[in-house]
Amino acid sequence: MSLINLAFKKTKNEKRPALLTYTVAGDNSKKKSLDILKSIANYADICEIGFPHNTPIADGGQIQSSAYRALKNGIKIKDVFSIVKDFKKSKQTKPVILMGYYNMIYQYGDNNFINICKKVLLKNVRKKILALFN
């Protein structure tokens, strides 16, 4: 069973809603972003980490501002993976969801992106990502 399924099973058994948090990776710096992520993970059931994007038109103002700050500070895709890898060293059992726009994945290269996800974060990533596009 996946960490995400386990988190939902746990909250169901505790008769409470799951708390999913979201933060843009790299907002305001790589180190601060990791500190924030570790801090909120103490209270969240699942952590969602966003890849900053230069045109986040589907997001609200707060997320747009966060993404612009991260990009202004030079955060790249490889930095997001680095933040996640460092996070998972201390929070191995905390479920993580990566959020981003597909055009960013496409430009990075589907297989390259999937392979890095597998190394840094998840098992069976290819199956999960491919299921989204079929």
Its pTM stands at: 0.83
Backbone angles phi, psi at 48, to 5 degrees: -105, 130
Q: Which two tokens stand for residue 132?
A: 């989204």
Question: Catalytic one among 14, 27, 45, 59?
Answer: 59
pLDDT for 70-129, tens place per residue? 999 999 999 999 999 899 888 888 998 888 888 888 888 888 888 888 777 655 454 454
**pLDDT, mean over the chain:** 85
**22 exposed, middle or buried (CB, 10 Å; 0-12, 13-18, 19+)?**
middle
Give the sheet arrangement for strand 46-50, strand by strand: 20-24, 46-50, 96-99
Domains of the chain: 3-133 (3.20.20.70)
pLDDT for 27-66, tens place per residue? 989 999 999 999 999 999 999 999 998 876 777 878 889 9
Backbone angles phi, psi at 93, to 5 degrees: -95, 0
Question: Catalytic one among 14, 48, 86, 110?
Answer: 48
> In the annotation, is 79 catalytic?
no
> In the annotation, is 48 catalytic?
yes
